[in-house]
Amino acid sequence: MTRKTMNYWAGTAEDLAQCYPESDSNDSHGYIRISRDNVVLGMHRWIWLEIYGSIPKGWEVDHINGVRTDNRLKNLRCIPKAAQRRNAAKRSDNVSGVQGVSIWNTTRRGNQVIHMWRAIAYDKSGKQKIKVFSIKKYGNQGAFDLACTTRKQMEKDYGYHPNHGR
């Protein structure tokens, strides 16, 4: 399938504020990029700027449902970057199958290797919070289960969006 050229996206913000098929994405991260006044930017950002005027420093335009080509106004919101982290899709390199839970191996003094499952989340101020569970102490499944339970509680405590990790 041939991608649409940048010029294809000519039109007003109101005209372009709609849901497009994911095949219309024209960048490596799944967004639709457009050119305006010799500047290339994400369509969702341009629509927000045209309709609402500005994006405060440290804020981002978020696709609420996580579909990066869904640029309908009801699906866009401007939020702090810290809040954006709480509405992220599951990383493609996630091996645990659970958002924010990963295996972690570290070497301590004496070259002793410690294997742990860890739960990672960001609080409302954007500060990373980590809780680790030793496989030696809890067993592999026990440490994994504790990390998963802790992560779910972190999501509640820090106000994660229900779509997080979809």
**What is the set of domains in the chain, with CATH numbers?**
6-85 (3.90.75.20), 101-157 (no CATH)
Q: Is the pTM of this model over 0.85?
A: no
pLDDT tier at 5, thresholds 50, 70, 90: low
More confident residue, 30 or 89: 30
Mean pLDDT of the chain: 86
Catalogue the long-range contacts made by 156-163 (C-beta closer than 8 Å, 24 or more residues apart): 157/123, 158/86, 158/121, 158/122, 158/123, 158/124, 158/129, 159/83, 159/86, 159/124, 160/86, 160/87, 160/121, 161/64, 161/86, 161/87, 163/64, 163/65, 163/66, 163/87
Residue 71 vs residues 23, 131, 139: alpha-carbon distances, Å: 14, 36, 46
pLDDT tier at 138, thresholds 50, 70, 90: very high
Q: Where are the beta strands (DSSP E) in the chain?
A: 33-36, 39-42, 59-63, 76-80, 101-108, 112-122, 128-134
Helix or strand run (H / E) with residue 5: none
* Each residue's pLDDT tens digit, 25-80: 888 888 998 888 888 899 999 999 999 999 999 999 999 888 899 999 999 999 88
Cβ(17)–Cβ(67) below 8 Å = no
Cβ(17)–Cβ(73) below 8 Å = yes
Q: What is the pLDDT of residue 122?
A: 86
